[in-house]
Structure 1
Amino acid sequence: MVSQNGGQEVSAIIATFVFILLIVVIIILFLVFIKRKNKLLTEKQQAKREFENAIAETQIEIREQTLRNISWELHDNIGQLLTLAKIQLHQLDNTNENVAEVSDTISKSLTELRALSKLINPDALKNIMLPEALSLEIARFNRLNFIEATLTINGDEEIIDDKAEIILFRILQEFFSNTIKHAKASKLDVSLNYENNLLTIIAKDNGKGFDKSEYRLNKGIGLQNMKSRGKLIGAEIELESELEKGTKLTIIHYL
């Protein structure tokens, strides 16, 4: 009997030990789960903050670029038109022909000012779709004889997330800036292709191009910056270039 009771006590002790061990393991697993969950939440919140910061920085860059564009246009285009109108006024000899010339110059100035009024709105991209924003840019390039530019839209236009539009516009703005300032291109062709919830944007110039094997040049035109921006919205960025044959930017964005 003593031996039997002793065996029961040992079994009870073992059972108690196993139960306590099981409880400890469950608690440890629960704490590990909570820790990982909190880590994931923290990483998610940090990623969200970084995304919002990137969007805010991009909006600021767009505004700064827009203000620079306006400054150039006021000085180089509208300023010249108004100066011409002033000269024409001094040369008036009360002939209908001269009056018509002054009227035409002033009309052109007003047209330029109306075009600028659309760009000067800091929230322009919130009020217009990406195709219209690009159309304004292309029209400006042609109007100021910066470059011969075209915009082609294929397929039915689809709604793009506001933040994605800002990122896409800024990527293209960087490419346009390089094409006009550094590529010595005479033509710029841009196309938006909508198909099966997919937007493919192609921007191509006929400039001097560059050797892709030279990373320094890639970095110089903002390739890495374009790719990092594209990554924020899940867009694929590809830049192709060949010396003396131009550069082609392809953006693939899933809608």
Structure 2
Amino acid sequence: MQNEVVSREEWLEARRALLAKEKEATRLRDSVNAARLALPWVKVDRDYVFETPEGRKSLADLFDGRSQLLIYHFMLGPDWDAGCTGCSFLSDHVDGALPHLNHHDVTWVAVSRAPLDKIAAYKQRMGWKFPWVSSFGNDFNFDYHVSFSPEDLAKDKVFYNFTPMPPADANDELPGLSAFYCNDKGEVFHTYSSYARGPEELIGTLMMLDRAPKGRNEDSTMNFVRRHDEYEEAAKAPSCCH
């Protein structure tokens, strides 16, 4: 399949029209970013304890001396054999960003309900370096609406992405991103959460594909994605370039 082929002058006209839309989207994104920063905060009153390779840590400990914390709710349940493919896809983009985040007063931590040994094994398989801790045994995932008990799934609705949804559309684990702030007194505040496709902009590969001639070239959302060690060698497409 090939798009319409036109002269350079016609292409420039179409490209300028698209540029106007791109600039409009950029201004809208700037406005959304400003609104996100202006959100009110909620003080975290519960004492969560996480299992980490360095021992048990509180939520405040996870900040690692910084004032801002981004937590990625990684789908890896207690009885899962491997992490979620989509979460793994996003996480492939994290390690390179860590020095930039850390030097801008931001700590990144992944949290899953799987026991620490399962997390460590999958992290080693994927070759990742970012901090990843276990919330097994506490209610953190349930309180932030990314994990659901059998009792939750037996109800008429579960709460995800700020709205009730049919349990048939849910899973025992779902993805999300949450942000927290820690002040000089050690008080922690929940400032932001995003679910479903909300964290998609963190996936640089998708942003690159959006600019390729065929785009994401998918039948459904990210159905082409595999864990990075599960791809088969792709046959090269027929091309005039040799």
Query: What is the TM-score of this pair, normalised by structure 2?
Result: 0.29
User: Which structure is larger by alpha-carbon Rg, 1 or 2?
Assistant: 1
- More helix by proportion, 1 or 2? 1
Query: What is the TM-score of this pair, normalised by structure 1?
Result: 0.28
Higher RCO (Cα < 8 Å, 6 or more apart): 2
